[in-house]
Chain A
Amino acid sequence: MSQSVERQFAVADSIDAALSARRSGAAVLAGGTWMMRDPRRGHDLPDAVVVLSGLSGMTDIAIDPDEVVVGASVTHEALADALRGSAGFEGVVVAAEGAANPAIRRVATVGGNLCTPDFSAADLVPAFLAYGAMVELATPERTLILNMAEFLKQRRELLRTAILTRIHLRRDVAASAHARLPLRKAGDYPVAIVSVAVDGEGAIRIAVGSVEEQARRWTSLENALTRLPGLPASPERAAELAREHMDFSGRDGVEAEGWYRCQVLPALVRRAFACLPKLETRA
């Protein structure tokens, strides 16, 4: 049955031990929902893994008046349960409670979702990108805190030696929404994702996932929406602007072709704006 009875399987009891294992080449095993499918993708399972869930604070969610801090080993289900009903977190909650299926959400972690660069359809990545989340990493030298865009840009390189420990969500987002298009032929994954967040100053951030290899902000659309007067645009107007500012090159995959992922984006923008909680004022 075994592929290798000599496989190294370490349950880290400190972040230093985890970093040491990582330096030695161990892969970080979170919920296992991605890594355990390596053989299905034609890859061998790693020769060495290190488990982080036993580390202090990694499964905690600290909710303070100014900030929410989420441990990397928090599951999707736990994240949705903790933030459901909290103003501003609507998009994050939809992303966490809509990803994959209930059994997966019970084990798949926030850290696993953010630290799997090959997983283009990760729901939490665009949700956190739109939200303006900050990512905390432990490195052999120091603690590093990066915004999501910087983290995604350097992700592969950073994760060779660093370990994601926490996500920081400041509480200045007034409203957010997350719209995804799953297809049965894509398993439980969305073929396109649009996340929207509006902060207390009225600034709009829009992130798109699953369309290109890596999620990114839709800055041309953000700028166009910012030029509009008044509260966030109507869903229909936002969709029109999405069509006018389409600057994505969709990735082709067995579940959907690239052109299709791009074509559905305006509809997802419309849906996301329709789901945005109403704002009383905009600066």
Chain B
Amino acid sequence: MSVTFRLNGQTTRFHDDPMTPLIDVLRREKFLTGAKPVCREGFCGACTVQVDGEAQMACLKPMGLLDGREVTTIEGLGNGREPLHPLQVAFAAADVVQCGMCFPGMVMALSAFVRDHPEADRTAIKTAMVGNICRCTGYERIIDAVVDHLKDGAAPKAELADV
């Protein structure tokens, strides 16, 4: 089966088993290793990417369901050579990243959330991130940074472009 989809803004094709999980294609074929295959059960959120702008688990997304869809990974959100996403800027400024394992998933889940819920309060932020587990248990600092980000509005994109 051939699947045509957009990956970080570029049209790409996949010719293989349509039940291959997206996470395996990202990491093994596209060498996009930001999303992490950890639990492979949709519980931990480390593989979160955005499909048509919605945060979804790449471990449970068969390639066959991606025909015509738009996939964005952490590398597509901000690759370090271009201005970071404002939420990434907020996380970097607040120094919230610990081991980093969960963080690509956290950013992909929460960047979609803050886009859709600019008025979210602390409780809503916590509810939004229940599917993203941080083994370092750095939740409160992450939530603080999201609250600050929403309070400040969208920070200038280039502010921490060199981080």
Q: What is the interface of chain A, defined by CB distance below 8 A to chain B?
A: 1-5, 7, 9, 29, 31-33, 36-37, 40, 45-46, 49, 51, 100-104, 106-107, 187-188
Contact = CB atoms under 8 A, between A and B. Distances in A.
B134 interface: no
B19 A101 contact: no
Given A36-B19, A107-B56, 8 more contacts: A29-B64, A32-B61, A36-B60, A37-B40, A49-B19, A103-B55, A106-B54, A107-B60
Q: For chain B, what secondary structure do more than half of its interface residues adopt (helix, strand, loop), or is it mixed?
A: mixed
A4 B17 CA distance: 6
* 7 A-B pairs with the lowest CB-CB distances in the bound complex, closest first: A101-B131, A2-B17, A9-B18, A36-B60, A9-B64, A187-B43, A2-B16
Q: Which of A7, A32, A33, A106: most chain B CB closer than 10 A?
A: A32
B128 interface: yes
Interface string B114-151: 00000000000001101100000000000000000000
A121 to B, nearest CB: 13
A2 B98 CA distance: 35
Nearest to B130: A101
Contacts of A5: 16-17
B41 A103 contact: no
A46 B18 CA distance: 11
B74 interface: no
Given A32-B65, A101-B42, A2 B20 contact: yes
Nearest to A97: B127
B64 A1 contact: no
Contact of B42 (A4, A45, A100): A100
B57 A103 contact: yes
Given A9-B1, A36-B60, A51-B64, A104 B42 contact: yes
Contact of A9 (B19, B54, B56): B19
A100 B131 contact: yes
Interface string B59-73: 111101100000000
Nearest to A45: B19
B133 to A, nearest CB: 9
B42 A33 contact: yes
Contact of A1 (B24, B45, B128): B24
22 contacts: A2-B16, A3-B17, A4-B17, A7-B1, A7-B18, A7-B19, A9-B18, A9-B64, A29-B64, A36-B61, A36-B62, A37-B40, A45-B19, A49-B64, A102-B109, A103-B48, A103-B56, A103-B57, A104-B42, A104-B131, A106-B54, A188-B131
Nearest to B55: A103
Q: Which of A36, A37, A106: most chain B CB closer than 10 A?
A: A36
Nearest to B25: A1
B81 interface: no
A29 B62 contact: yes
Given A1-B24, A3-B19, A101 B43 contact: yes
Interface in B19-64: 19-21, 24-25, 28-29, 40-43, 45, 48, 54-57, 59-62, 64
Contacts of B17: 1-5, 7
Contacts of B25: 1
Contact of A36 (B43, B55, B59): B59
A183 to B, nearest CB: 12
Nearest to B49: A103
B40 A101 contact: no
A5 to B, nearest CB: 6
Contacts of B56: 103, 106-107
Given A1-B16, A9-B19, A49-B19, A102 B41 contact: no
Contacts of B1: 7, 9
B41 A1 contact: no
Contacts of B40: 37, 40
Given A106-B55, A187-B43, A188-B131, A37 B19 contact: no
A46 B48 CA distance: 25
Nearest to A105: B131
